[in-house]
Each structure stands twice: as C-alpha cells, then as structure tokens.
C-alpha cells in the first residue's frame, strides 16, 4: 500500500536513538502514523514539527503495518510562530487534540480543512483564541457530537441564549436556565454570531468544548483527560483573562514559562 498527499504533522514520538513515529493528518487518508528514519535527528527535526504542512509519502508492504513515512516541508507554521509562545501553544494543542480525537486511517476532510483554516488564522489574526474554540466545536461536529446552539432546548426561544446543557449539548436561555445555573455550562456570545470575544469568554468557550471532548470523545476512546498540550493552552488563556488581556495580548515573558 502507498499514498502521497499533503499533510499536517500532529505528534512526533521518538523511536530509538534518532528515528521517530510521526502522526499526520491528511485530507484523503485521515490520521496516519508512520516511521520516519532519522525523524528525531537534527536535519529532519525541523520538518516534523506539530502544525507543519508537509508533502508526505507513506508506504508499507501490508495495509496493517506501521509503514514508512517521508516528507518535504511545504509550510513551516511552527517556525513562523516560534516567537509567539501563546499562538505556538494553540498550534501544538490543536495538533495534539486532533491526534487524540480522530480515529486512525479514517478520512475526515472537514477536520483537515478546519486545521488549515485555524493555522491561517493563527498566522494572521488577533482573534485566534476565539478561532481556536470554534475549531474545537467544528471537530466535535465532525466526530458526530455537534452542539445545537440555535435555540433554547426548553422554550424554543432564539434570543437570550447563555447556557448549554452538559448532557445534551443544546443551548438554554437565561430565563429557562436560571434555576439550574450551577449545573449548566456558560455559552459565550461570540459563538452565537459576530460578537467580540474577551479572554474570559474564550475561557468559557474552552470549558464548554473541553467538557464534550472529555465526556464524548476521550472517555469513549479510553484516553481519559484531553492532551496535556491543551491543558497548557487553557492555563495560558486563563492567565490572560485574569490579567484583563484582550485577544491579541501576549503573556509577559516573566510568566510565560512559569
């Protein structure tokens, strides 16, 4: 078996002294892993960085084998974001979440296109934190766990939506949800239309998507909690929220790596 496609690097796991097992996301083949000879070495290492777009070729004698992977760099997203630890954390988190959530060798073109769009926004926009939350919502939908934020699950109202049921994933209005506020998930307004998002809104959005990733995706796959890379991104954005930062503000150098 053999295929050749553009792909995004998701996760790189060292294998032996200098080789690596690399997980990639392609549009036609889905999430695939392969052995890269020298993939952990100095020459190949910069190519196989999470988020990088590569021209990948995978081959194996039998379909169920790990197979060999080799690639050429198409776009070095990781290097472009190296000087912005916040955006880089979002890139690494998205790659790790996709690797953990997507079934192997099953095409999910919507997930591939969503990753492409997110990386463009990370590279070009100040609104990347909100874009990251929307990306996780799209990933949930692609996996069959889409949230219904169109109307109140109780009254059918389309105005005043501010909660989400943690059980059904459906929106709830302020009036209908008031008696159960301590049991519901906050629904930030930016997910309902073209509204600006504060960092506090983004934290609420990450709590929302994190709940459904944990309960419907990772638990079902026996993987427990989301990847550590996502937790580090949530911590970064939560710190920005407590500092009163806007969408484009970065964490000061003295606390970036604390």
Kindly report the pTM of this predicted structure.
Answer: 0.90
Total domains in the chain come to 2
Helices 228-242 + 199-212 axis angle, to 10: 150
The answer to whether residue 17 sits within a structural domain is yes
Residues 227 and 252 in one domain: yes
pLDDT at 224: 66
Residues 58 and 11 in one domain: yes
pLDDT at 193: 87
Which residue range forms the structural domain that includes residue 251? 85-149+187-256
Q: Are 1 and 60 in contact (CB under 8 A)?
A: yes
- Tens of pLDDT, residue by residue over 186-219, are 999 999 988 889 999 999 999 999 999 999 999 8
Helices 85-101 + 228-242 axis angle, to 10: 140
Residue reference for tokens 């008696």: 179
Residues 89 and 205 in one domain: yes
Residue reference for tokens 């995706």: 217
pLDDT at 234 exceeding the cut of 80: yes
Closest CA to 199 of 90, 82, 78, 51: 90
Residues 109 and 217 in one domain: yes
The answer to whether residue 41 sits within a structural domain is yes
Residues 71 and 92 in one domain: no
pLDDT at 246 exceeding the cut of 80: no
The answer to whether residue 162 sits within a structural domain is no
Residues 111 and 58 in one domain: no
Distance (Å, whole) CA 62 – CA 1: 6
Work out the mean pLDDT of the chain and round it to a whole number.
91
Between 19-28, 118-127, 227-236, the lowest mean confidence (pLDDT) is in 118-127
> What's the mean pLDDT in 57-83?
94
């Amino acid at each position: 078996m053999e295929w050749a496609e553009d792909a995004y690097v998701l996760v790189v796991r060292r294998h032996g002294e200098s080789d690596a097992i690399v997980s990639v996301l392609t549009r036609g083949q889905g999430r695939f892993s392969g052995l890269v000879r020298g993939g952990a070495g100095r020459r190949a290492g910069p190519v196989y960085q999470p988020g990088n777009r590569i021209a990948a070729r995978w081959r194996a004698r039998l379909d169920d084998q790990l197979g060999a992977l080799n690639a050429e760099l198409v776009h070095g997203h990781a290097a472009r974001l190296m000087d912005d630890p916040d955006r880089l954390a979002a890139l690494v988190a998205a790659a790790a979440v996709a690797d953990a959530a997507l079934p192997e060798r099953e095409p999910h073109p919507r997930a591939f296109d969503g990753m492409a769009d997110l990386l463009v926004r990370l590279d070009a926009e100040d609104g990347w934190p909100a874009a990251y939350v929307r990306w996780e919502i799209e990933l949930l939908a692609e996996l069959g766990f889409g949230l219904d934020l169109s109307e109140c699950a109780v009254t059918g109202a389309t105005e005043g939506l501010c909660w989400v049921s943690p059980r059904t994933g459906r929106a709830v209005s302020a009036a209908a949800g008031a008696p159960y506020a301590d049991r519901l998930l906050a629904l930030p307004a930016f997910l309902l239309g073209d509204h600006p998002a504060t960092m506090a809104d983004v934290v609420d959005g990450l709590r929302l998507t994190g709940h459904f990733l944990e309960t419907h995706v990772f638990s079902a796959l026996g993987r427990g909690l989301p990847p550590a890379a996502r937790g580090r991104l949530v911590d970064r954005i939560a710190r920005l929220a407590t500092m009163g930062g806007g969408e484009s503000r970065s964490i000061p150098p003295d606390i970036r790596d604390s």
